Amino acid sequence: MKIFCSRANPTTGSVEWLEEDEHYDYHQEIARSSYADMLHDKDRNVKYYQGIRAAVSRVKDRGQKALVLDIGTGTGLLSMMAVTAGADFCYAIEVFKPMADAAVKIVEKNGFSDKIKVINKHSTEVTVGPEGDMPCRANILVTELFDTELIGEGALPSYEHAHRHLVEENCEAVPHRATVYAQLVESGRMWSWNKLFPIHVQTSLGEQVIVPPVDVESCPGAPSVCDIQLNQVSPADFTVLSDVLPMFSIDFSKQVSSSAACHSRRFEPLTSGRAQVVLSWWDIEMDPEGKIKCTMAPFWAHSDPEEMQWRDHWMQCVYFLPQEEPVVQGSALYLVAHHDDYCVWYSLQRTSPEKNERVRQMRPVCDCQAHLLWNRPRFGEINDQDRTDRYVQALRTVLKPDSVCLCVSDGSLLSVLAHHLGVEQVFTVESSAASHKLLRKIFKANHLEDKINIIEKRPELLTNEDLQGRKVSLLLGEPFFTTSLLPWHNLYFWYVRTAVDQHLGPGAMVMPQAASLHAVVVEFRDLWRIRSPCGDCEGFDVHIMDDMIKRALDFRESREAEPHPLWEYPCRSLSEPWQILTFDFQQPVPLQPLCAEGTVELRSSGRWELTSCGHRCTIFLNPPGS
């Protein structure tokens, strides 16, 4: 049996599918997921246990046996809680076999094998009857099928099927109810993650403006939610336009529908401004009375900000309206939440949606290519006018009227900057059809389609014919490549520079001319939880998960750094920053690996976050082909 796993190639920055042998350990994939974070979420665990215990008591008070169906059991923790709370039997469903195997071991280790049956199937494949997986329907439904968007992991179809086939009518459900909340805001910073703004270039002939194509400007953006740690977004980065609005609720104890629906809330703007972004989160009530509540609310909407539970498996959502709209304080509007079986999106209406036949709109999708090529941080980079000004300032120092410029970054506008600064001839290499198509549209919108040459191929495949027989006098890169997962994957620029060396003329300049890699030892306030050993979780032994985490840390691929937007995760430094390596782009990549080795002096105590080699650090950069 062949097994293929995705891996990032640190040389090219591209994601490749590599074949693993049949002994590949999928447990390390589990350990690198959010299981440790969930097991450390004490607020979640305590509230679930309180809700399960209350549900079991209600069933027992009716003189019935408590039969529990746990969909998406994971480690089996909720099933063990149910048995501890007095449930007579629990059917724990887990579709991912390595996780189901782990759940069997954890259940057995805690002495619950006689009352918990782990079923390694998707819940929609589970059967009920004398010959089925369950002899009869359950009367308590326990689930943890939620993601940051609430329904993004298929909660609605799973609930719909469970109510029709696996649980009794009007069963007890934990959680009992979920409510989605939204708040309309104006935020130039967040809006810059979704739209391409006009870019201003100061030249000797005056200001030039790079305008976005019409379809890029009108595009609603990427359909996927932007999930972030909203508590780390500065309040100065947005202006609140509405109160917190409860948009819709789902009662999990009754039949649930996965059909598309919309829910509207009338509100009066708190201030005048531009409606651009909807901030959204949800809470779950574990009991019918709503006394046991677990909320994802950010600090300004939280009932007790000082006692907030940090979690990374459930965060908050940023949704972008299709287009920004002016709003006037006190003039009523309708915020509409739409959802299908997996996704949520928002729109703003000026009349009651019940009277508007178009309100049941389709989920917005990108039709301009830009949101498929550039992720949200990339939009933010391109829209950063200060960043553009610095590039212009640097280019002025090296460009000459007779320069032949070659740009080798993906979907970069540096070629446009070079043209506006008076370069004789500009080439840009686009290795993907998507970036080639997007740049053509941008050039056409700015009347540059005949002034900048786009070459659609990988840079290392360039020929003299592609460059019209010219030698390059300036090799230019941001550098940025869409396949890069980590910042240093953009060192692919150095390999490109080496591959095109034959096309560089005498005295050719390379920009950037050099790069350096820096590091600092830090203690994260919260991020450590996603890999921290779990041990005993709410009185249950889950050390098997610790073994998986350790196995993952020992695994060769897990020693690589993982991409995290670090601004979302507060930390404090435990050392001075130090420079590890420098890379001279004026020269080709050396044939021998670059190596840096040294020691780090810690200036204060704290949790040691680097697990690879204590206080000594060794870093290699391999030559091409190695």
The DSSP element (H or E) to which 228 belongs, if any, is strand 226-228
Phi-psi region of 369 (alpha: psi -120 to 50; beta: other; left: phi over 0): left
- What lies within 8 Å, CB to CB, of 54 at 6+ separation is 286, 287, 292
Closest CA to 299 of 279, 278, 321: 279
**Distance from C-alpha of 164 to C-alpha of 161, rounded to nearest angstrom:** 5
Catalytic residues, by residue number, are 144, 153
**Distance from C-alpha of 95 to C-alpha of 105, rounded to nearest angstrom:** 16
Residue pair 457/466 in contact by the 8 Å Cβ criterion = yes
Closest CA to 337 of 349, 325, 346, 326: 346
- 404-407 and 472-476 beta bridge pairing: parallel
Residue pair 581/491 in contact by the 8 Å Cβ criterion = no
The DSSP element (H or E) to which 80 belongs, if any, is helix 77-84
**Distance from C-alpha of 544 to C-alpha of 550, rounded to nearest angstrom:** 10
CA 366 from centre of chain: 18
Angle, helices 97-109/77-84, rounded to nearest 10 degrees: 30
**Distance from C-alpha of 129 to C-alpha of 122, rounded to nearest angstrom:** 17
Place of tokens 């509540």: 293
The terminus-to-terminus CA distance of the chain in angstroms comes to 28
Residue 73 half-sphere exposure toward CB, CA atoms < 13 A:
35
Amino acid at 267: F
Place of tokens 């923790």: 77
Task: Read off the tokens for 481.
Answer: 């490549």
418-433 b/e (C-beta count within 10 Å ≥ 16 → b): bbbbebebbbbbbbbe
Place of tokens 């994601």: 15
**Distance from C-alpha of 367 to C-alpha of 364, rounded to nearest angstrom:** 9
Please count the other Cβ atoms lying within 10 Å of the Cβ belonging to residue 243.
13
Residue pair 136/126 in contact by the 8 Å Cβ criterion = no
Phi, psi of 168, deg, nearest 5: -70, 160
**Distance from C-alpha of 440 to C-alpha of 341, rounded to nearest angstrom:** 36
Residue pair 419/451 in contact by the 8 Å Cβ criterion = yes
Amino acid at 242: S
